[in-house]
Structure 1
Amino acid sequence: MSQALVSARWDAEYREGRYAGEPPLPFVDRILATIHASSMAERRGLYIGCGNGRNYLPLVRSGLHLYGLDLSAEALRQLAAREPALAKRLICTDFRTFVSRCRFSYVIAIQVFQHGVAADVAGYFAGVGSLLSPGGLFFLRVNAASTQVRRPHTVIERNDSGGFTIRYESGPKQGLPVHFLTRDELHTLTRNDFAVVAEPREGVAVRTPPETGHWVQWEAIWKRLDGKSAWRGRRNGP
C-alpha cells in the first residue's frame, strides 16, 4: 500500500469537503468518560487518523492533552486553521513509520486501522502496544466483517479468523486495500499485549437510500498489560 497514493487520495477527499460539518461519533463520549474515570485526562495521548478534527476536536476541547496524527497534509492544514493553538500537536506521517521518543497513556484509532492488508493491520496493533505505557488505554473503532460491502470490489485475502481484505474497483478508495475484522481476529491481535476493558461490540449503520445494506464497525477498549513490554525504544516523535 503506497503511502503517497493513500495520502493523495485522502488529500483529495478533504479538499472536496470530507466530514465537513459532520457531528462527532457517539464513541467519543465513551472515550471521554473512560479517560476521565481513569484520571488520565491531563496525560499525553495520541489520536491516530485525526483527520480534520471531526472527533479529535471534541476530545481536545474536553480537556485531553492529545496529539493528532494523520497522513493527509490537507486534513491537518484544515484542522490547524480551525484551531491554530493545536498546530504543534499535529503530526503528518503514516502510522506504519511513526516513531516517538516517549510513550502515551492512551491511544485512539477511529476508522483507520482497516486500511491495508492483514499484515498492515497486525502492524498497527503491534505499534500501539509499543507506544502505550503499561496500564495505558487503547480505544478502537474499525470495520467489521459482517459489513455488507456494496461498491464493486475484489476480495484479495482471507484469514483463518474469518477476516478478509478487499480492493475497491471504483469510488474514492479505488485500488486501495481495506480490511474487515472478526471478533476472533480482534482477540488474536490483542491477546498477548492487552486486557479487555470494554468487549468489542458491533455498531450497525444502515446506508442512506438509494444505497442499500448496512455498514458495521467494531468498538472496543483495551488496557496495555503490565507484563513484559513490547516497547522497542522508538525515539523520534513527541
Structure 2
Amino acid sequence: MSQSQVSARWDAEYRSGRYAGEPPLPFVDEIRATLHASSVAERRGLYIGCGNGRNYLPLVRSGLRLYGLDLSSVALHQLAAREPALSMRLICADFRTFVSRCRFSYVIAIQVFQHGAAADVAKYFAGVGSLLSPGGLFFLRANAASTHVRRPHTVIERNDFGGFTVRYESGPKQGLPVHFYARDELQALAPDDFALVAEPREAVTARTPPETGHWVQWEAIWKRPEA
C-alpha cells in the first residue's frame, strides 16, 4: 500500500471521530515528569504520530517546546483547530521519509512504530538515531508480541526474537501490516549508543466485552549519551 493510500486511510479514520474525546494515556504523565526533571525540557522535541492531539496536547500544555508530526493532514487540521497557536509546530509527513535540518533533544513515539513491516520498523529506529541529539531522550510505546491478536489476520513475518508482523483482514486497519515487538528485539533495534533509562515494561489493557483477551504495549525510555 502506497504512502498516499495509507495517509488517505488515516484521514478517513480521523474524519470518523478517531480518538475524539479520549483521555491521554497514563504513559504521558511519565513522559512529562521525566522531561521536566531532565536538562532537556526547555529544548526542542518531536512527537511522531501526534494525530489530533490526544497525547500531544497535554505535553505541550505542560510547557514543552514540542513539534508534532503526522501523515494525516485531517488529524493535523483538527489539532490546529483545537490549538491555533500550534499550527507552526505541526508537520505533515511520513516519518519513514522525513528529513530534518535540525536535531531534537527528545523524541516521542506512542503507538506509531508498530505500523508497517520489518523494513519499516528498522527505518523508524534509524530515523530516531539520526534525529536525537547527544544527551537526548527517546520515549516509545508500541505493540508487544504477547498481545492477543483478535481480528482476522495473517502473520506475514516472524523474527528470531519472537516479534512478528500481521496483515489484518478486516476492521479499520484492513490490508495494513502491523508489527508486534519482542522485548529483546527493542534493544536490538535501538541505536548502539542508546542506553535504557526505563526498562521495557508491558502495559496490559483488557479488551472490552464481549471481546476477550488483552492488548499489550511496551513502554520504554532510552537516552543518548552526552557527546
Same fold judged by TM-score > 0.5?
A: yes
Q: Which amino acid aligns with 2:12?
A: A
Give the equivalent residue in structure 2 for 1:216: 216
Alignment TM-score, normalising by the size of structure 1: 0.94
Unaligned runs of 5+ in 1: 228-238
The CA deviation at 1:191 is 5.5
Distance 2:36 2:5 in 1: 38
Q: 1 CA distance for matches of 2:84 and 2:42?
A: 20
TM superposition shift of 1:135: 1.1
Instruction: Map Cα deviations across residues 56-107 of structure 1 (whole Å, 9 max, x no partner).
Output: 0000000000000000000000000000000000000100111111100000
Q: Decide whether the 8 Å contact of 2:206 with 2:213 is kept in 1.
A: yes
Partner of 1:206: 206
Amino acid paired to 1:134: P
Partner of 1:101: 101
The residue aligned with 2:123 is 123
Which segment drifts farther, 217-226 or 195-204?
Answer: 217-226
In the alignment, structure 1 residue 154 sits paired with structure 2 residue 159: no
Write the deviation string for residues 186-228 of structure 1: whole angstroms up to 9, x where unpaired.
011125131000000000000001111110000000001346x
Question: Which structure carries more relative contact order (alpha carbon 8 Å, separation 6+)?
Answer: 1
1:131-210 pair list within 5 angstroms? 131-190=131-190, 192-210=192-210
Gaps of 5+ in 2: none
User: How far does residue 42 in structure 1 lie from its aligned partner after superposition?
Assistant: 1.4
State the partner residue of 2:44: 44
3-state secondary structure, aligned to 2:47: strand
- Separation (CA, whole Å) in 2 of partners of 1:191 and 1:138: 11
Secondary structure of the residue aligned to 2:186 is: helix
**Contact 1:129–1:193 (Cα < 8 Å) also in 2:** no
Percent of aligned pairs with the same amino acid: 85
What SS is found at the alignment partner of 2:32?
Answer: helix
Asked if 1 retains the 8 angstrom alpha-carbon contact of 2:126 and 2:191, the reply is no
**Conserved in 2, the CA contact under 8 Å of 1:114 and 1:121?**
yes
Q: Which runs of 4+ in 1 moved over 6 A?
A: none
Alignment partner, residue 82 of structure 1: 82
What TM-score comes out, normalization by structure 2 length? 0.98
Whole-angstrom distance in 2 between the partners of 1:171 and 1:149: 12
CA RMSD of aligned residues (A): 0.9
Partner Cα separation in structure 2 for residue 164 and residue 88 of structure 1: 37
Distance 2:216 2:49 in 1: 19
Contact 2:129 2:191 in 1 (8 A): no
CA distance in 2: counterparts of 1:41 and 1:224, whole angstroms: 15
